[in-house]
Amino acid sequence: MTSSIDVSLGEVAASLVLVALGVGLSFWRRADLERDIGIAVVRSIVQLTAIGYVIQAIFDEDSLALVFALIAVMVVFGAIQARQRARKVPGAFVPLLISLAVAGAATLGLVVALGIFEPEPRFLVPVGGMVVGNAMTAAAVALNRLGDEMHDRAREIEATLALGATATQAAAPSLRRSLRSGTIALVDSTKTTGLIFFPGTMVGMLIAGADPTDAVRLQLILLYSLLGSVSIAALLSTTLAYRNFFTPAQQLREPPEPGAGTAA
Amino acid sequence: MLFDLEGVDYARAGTPVLRDFSAGLREGATCVAGPSGSGKSTLLRLLNRLADPAAGRVLYRGEDVRERDPLELRREVCLVPQLPALLEGTVADNLRFAAGLGDGEADVGRCLELAGLDESFADRDARRLSVGEQQRAMLARALAVEPRVLLLDEPTSALDAVARDAIEATLTDLRRRLGISLVLVTHDIEQARRLADWVVRVEEGRAVAAGAVGEHLGA
């Protein structure tokens, strides 16, 4: 399953032609995306180059402690980034931090415990990065939806509380929809993988000259690991965060405006 | 006294809604009347602890509501909001959900009948009913909890005159058959006269008058 490929800076620079094409199209159609594309390109170069050196250093040191430190940093930055998408959720940072940490730890712990990967930096670093990244996206989407739900359905939730329901019972429909929002993108892409798109790991391995069977098997392992981590992150983040919308007396902290909304 | 409010202050987003509000609400049917924005709906939410006052006390049958378990209190003092807000599913699903909150089983047919709906509504999609039907379904859902007091926030504000008259007849019938007390918010003085024995008038967050309907509103 080992293979290698040399990629020159010239080849990377050549790929920027496609970015230039995108910028040109944006300019032509006045989509006003040129600046954002430029920022994305610069950030990707800087961030990936930097992480490339960090990963190289960790591989050279062959230290599990450094692996955990790197993943911990990813979890913290992931939680900070996801919080931007969860602005309507009060106190979202701690639930995000816990959900990303648990999703990462549980997924990596299981793949090592089940003997799928050796506990070595060259496995744990890339898999950890994918797991935390996908968990971050799932938790951010789930909490974004939860914030919208709790705001848009405040009347329905308070009407349920008014019958003597607990906060958990009143929020349950919104929690279900938020959880579904957080996980559905990966579930759908897993359903269509190999038919509509080829996932990145498989593509990378094929380009690097790996046997297609090996590439597919590794991709399946990663997809299943990601499905697990994404489910954990979405479930845990919404389960921990929804309570912040309620007081200990099972009241909405931000009740609906009197007479707000329209009759159905 | 069913409820006593003593020097209640309540603000929303820094804006005072109720100011040093003091009034008594009697057993039977009490109407809280006043212009829009005077704090009537907020007052109802304080009665079953959907909100707590910043200052003052709300007493239910002589006991501070903050001493009560909020869930038990809300099952005993059930609020029906101004606009319909039913859960996804059938009307019967909504009634069974409400009854299950108190570990009971819904007598769907009876609750529908009390709310003026026939049994065919049980299997109807709750969110596809007309506004008037949804108001009745909300009432039926509240009755499934078997409350002792119903708090009704402008129960006919979205209805035409025919539907309004039907809901009013249902409420009068409920009082007679179940003996439950009603606290009814309305800006319609005529409705207060038709439905209530006691009236509390609210203006700009304060109780400005209280008394028997006949004395305050005339016959």
CA distance A262 to chain B (A): 7
Q: Identify the contact set of chain A against chain B, taking CB-CB distances under 8 A.
A: 155-156, 158-166, 169, 173, 249-252, 255, 258-259, 261-264
Helix axis angle for B131-144 and B161-178, nearest 10°, is 10
Q: How far A221 CA lies from chain B's nearest CA (Å)?
A: 38
- Look at B192 and A258; give whichever has higher pLDDT: B192
Average pLDDT over residues B162-167: 84
Interface test with B, best of A156, A160, A163, A174 (most B CBs within 10 A): A163
Q: Is A173 in contact with B87 (Cβ distance < 8 A)?
A: yes
User: B81 to chain A: which residues are within 8 Å by CB?
Assistant: 155, 158-159, 162
**A to B CB pairs, distance under 8 Å:** 81
What pLDDT does A202 receive? 87
Q: Which residue of B has its CA nearest to A169?
A: B101
Residue A176 contacts residue A182 (beta carbons within 8 Å): no
Question: Shortest CB distance from A162 goes to which of B48, B52, B131?
Answer: B48
**Is the pTM here over 0.90, yes or no?**
no
Query: Torsion-angle region of residue B56: left (phi > 0), alpha (psi -120 to 50) or beta?
Result: left
State residue B219's pLDDT score. 52
| Residue B54 · residue B215 · CB < 8 Å | no
| Interatomic CA distance for residues B219 and B131, integer angstroms | 31
Task: Note the Cα A167 to chain centre separation in Å.
Answer: 27
Contact A258 B145 (CB under 8 A): no
> Could you give the residue ranges of the DSSP H alpha helices within A64-120?
64-85, 93-113
List, edge to edge, every strand of the sheet that includes B29-33. B77-80, B149-153, B181-186, B29-33, B198-203, B206-212
Are A238 and A146 a contacting pair, CB within 8 Å? yes
Is A250 in contact with A166 (CB distance < 8 Å)? yes
The first and second tokens of residue B137, run together, are: 């379904």
Q: How confident is the model at residue A264 (pLDDT cuts 50, 70, 90)?
A: very low
Instruction: Tell me the nearest-neighbour CA distance from B197 into chain A, angstroms.
Output: 25
B141–A251 C-beta distance less than 8 A: no
Q: What is the pLDDT of residue A259?
A: 59
pLDDT at A3 over 70: no
Give the pLDDT mean for A108-135.
93
Q: Is the pLDDT of residue A2 over 50?
A: no
Q: How close is the nearest chain A Cα to the Cα of B11, in Å?
A: 12
Over range B157-164, report the average pLDDT: 80
- C-beta atoms of A163 and B48 within 8 A: no
| Cβ contact A263–B74 (<8 Å) | no
pLDDT 10s digits, A40-61: 999 999 999 999 999 999 999 9
C-alpha distances out from residue A161 to A226, B52, B181, Å: 36, 14, 20
Residue A4 has pLDDT above 80, yes or no: no
Distance from the Cα of B198 to chain A's closest Cα (Å) equals 24
Characterize the bridge pairing of strands B181-186 and B149-153: parallel
From the list B42, B98, B158, the residue facing A163 with the nearest CB is B98
- For residue range B76-88, list pLDDT tens digits in order: 999 999 888 999 9
Per-residue pLDDT, B67: 95
Q: Do residues A139 and A182 make contact, with C-beta atoms less than 8 angstroms apart?
A: yes
- ipTM comes to 0.92
Rounded to the nearest 5°, which phi and psi values hold at A106? Answer: -65, -45
Average pLDDT value over all residues in chain B: 91
Give the tens place of pLDDT for each residue, B94-138.
999 999 998 788 899 989 998 889 999 999 999 999 988 998 999
Tell me: pLDDT of A1 over 60: no
pLDDT recorded at residue B187: 83
pLDDT one-digit tens code per residue, A186-213 = 999 889 888 887 888 888 888 888 899 9
Q: Taking CA atoms, what residue in B is nearest to A153?
A: B85
Q: What is the pLDDT of residue A16?
A: 93
**pLDDT at residue A248 above 90?**
yes
The reply to whether residue B50 touches residue A162, judged by beta carbons under 8 angstroms, is yes
Binding-face residues of B in 28-67 toward A, CB within 8 A: 41-42, 45, 48-52
pLDDT single digits (tens) B35-90: 888 899 999 999 999 999 999 999 999 999 999 999 999 999 999 998 889 999 99
Q: Where are the beta strands (DSSP E) in B87-218?
A: 149-153, 181-186, 198-203, 206-212
Share of chain B above pLDDT 70, in %: 99
Rounded to an integer, what distance in angstroms lies between the CA atom of residue A71 and that of residue B16? 49
Cβ of residue B18 closer than 8 Å to a chain A Cβ: no
Considering only A3-7, A96-100, A178-182, B139-143, which range has the smallest mean pLDDT? A3-7
The closest CB to that of A164, out of B101, B154, B158, belongs to B101
Mean pLDDT of A164-178: 96
Interchain CB distance below 8 Å, A155 and B42 = no
Q: Do B83 and A261 touch (CB under 8 A)?
A: yes
Q: Cβ–Cβ of A162/B80 closer than 8 Å?
A: yes
Cβ contact (<8 Å) for A249 and B138?
no
**Which amino acid is residue B157, in one-letter code?**
S
Does the pLDDT of residue B6 top 70, yes or no? yes
User: Is there a contact between B79 and B48 (Cβ–Cβ < 8 Å)?
Assistant: yes
Range scoring the smallest mean pLDDT among A98-102, A140-144, B176-180: B176-180
